[in-house]
Amino acid sequence: MGKTSIHWHGIRQQGSNSEDGVNGLTECPLPPGGSKTYVWQATSYGTSWWHSHASTQYGDGVFGAIVIHGPTSAGYDVDMGPITISEIYRTSGGSGALDVIISTQGPLMDVPDNILFNGTNVNAQGGGKRFQMTVEPGKRYLMRFINTGVDDFYKVGIDGHMMEVVAIDLTPVKPYTTQYVSLAIGQRFDAIMTANGTVGNYWLRALPMNCASNNYNGKGTQNAIISYKGAASALPTTTAAPVHDDCLDEPAEKTVPFVGKSVNVSNFDPRHLPVASPFKITSANEGRVFRWSIGETTQNVDLQHPILQRLVQGNTTISPEDNIIGVDEKDTWAFWYIQNNFYEPHPIHMHGNDMRILASGEGQWDEDLSKLQVNNPMRRDTFMLRGGGYAILAFYTDNPGVWLLHCHIGWHVSEGLSTSIYIRKDDIKLDAGVGKSIEDGCTAWNDYLTNPTKFTYQKFGSGV
């Protein structure tokens, strides 16, 4: 399997930056046969997931769901637990092999062999098993959906039923009812289905949108099944409700956080972060390859000397390829203006912080401050940056650390579409035990690299 590190998606890691699980930033990679115990405090509740942060490794199955129990903004009878939705790429040799193909040949129409619900489904040859849930008439069921894929944007819905959304990412929202919910890579939503239909079997659909450059039509073998208790054992014959093909987040007017928090824009001075179109370079190790940039720089992390290790050692050396942006102000609002200069949308994820989405739209931002949503804007850790569009983000600088901001399309982050944010560098405190753990991890990784009987790893792409 080569190297790995485990990231706890959406977990703020307040005071535990070293546990964020990003090789090259917070730790050296874990070598084959190695082990690490991650320790962090759950300060939010809801649905999230963990995954490998070693290039596209999680796309081949190194991920799992996280549920932190807490109150919901509407009542239910049964918690059905997490439902992960992911692709599988067998024909191309897996996500890692496809990453190499896309990096060398450029963006292409990558079609998965199947879509999995909680890791299972039937295949075109009739093998496998569908994911199926049984419900009782009249009861209300909480379902926790997670997009754990590497490339697809879904509209998720249940034939013949509406869903009452109660949480987006780890933010409880005021309940709203909808037929479909948008779900980008890395995003989650919690929704309640009331079993008020005729007793029978219904398709649970995850419809990939064409704007994700994928032509898997979402109406084939990949659907899961919702079965009413007492229904005959048969495949559903239900039909999908009409769906609009787009890769947009849920509307801001619907996703209103249940606990209101506003943003003070009196010091509004946004940092501009352009996201470039893919371009080709010559790499010493990889030949001619495609890369992305954010903030006019392509990230390429140093796996042998992660940023936190350098901080422990008092080493102030920063490489341009670290792509670090410093934010020094304490306990105040920081603002970013991200402009996408490519036609394809990007699911942008920020580690260690809750982003407030103050504005987003097509084309260039018109710099009209009166249009910013500052009164209780949507809070989430992953949002969709529109193709050829923009977003205005805010986050509060109360969590010192080095945090990653990146596109969650597996091939894009592997090709450098990420940046590191140094929030209050001088306030990052690592006790002796944490510092030793980082050093021990890097010693193990470097021993692996220099052992001729064990070394099988060749870095490809950015490393994250």
Stretch 2-21: mean pLDDT: 95
Predicted confidence at residue 126, as pLDDT, reads 79
Predicted confidence at residue 415, as pLDDT, reads 83
| Percentage above 90 pLDDT, the chain | 70
Tens-digit pLDDT profile for residues 328-337: 999 999 999 9
Q: Residue 72 pLDDT > 70, yes or no?
A: yes
Strands (E), 233-345: 271-275, 279-283, 287-291, 324-327, 333-340
Query: CA-to-CA distance for 457 and 454, rounded, in angstroms?
Result: 9
Strands (E), 169-312: 171-178, 180-183, 188-194, 201-208, 224-228, 271-275, 279-283, 287-291
Q: Residue 64 pLDDT > 70, yes or no?
A: yes
Query: CA-to-CA distance for 111 and 148, rounded, in angstroms?
Result: 16
Tens-digit pLDDT profile for residues 96-127: 555 555 554 555 556 777 899 999 998 877 78
Mean pLDDT, the chain, rounded, equals 89
Tens-digit pLDDT profile for residues 232-281: 999 999 999 999 999 999 999 999 999 999 999 999 999 999 887 665 44
Claim: this prediction has a pTM higher than 0.85:
yes
Q: How distant is the alpha carbon of residue 226 from its chain centre?
A: 26
Single-letter amino acid code for the residue at 18? S
Predicted confidence at residue 215, as pLDDT, reads 47
Predicted confidence at residue 345, as pLDDT, reads 93
Residue 132 — very low, low, confident or very high, per pLDDT cuts 50/70/90?
Answer: very high
Pairing of strands 401-407, 154-158: unpaired
H-helix or E-strand spanning residue 167: strand 163-168
* CB within 8 Å of 452: residues ≥ 6 apart: none
- 258: which DSSP letter? S
Q: What angle is formed at CA 166 by the lines to CA 164 and CA 167, rounded to 5 degrees?
A: 135
Predicted confidence at residue 107, as pLDDT, reads 55
Q: Residue 400 pLDDT > 90, yes or no?
A: yes
CB 167 within 8 A of CB 173: yes
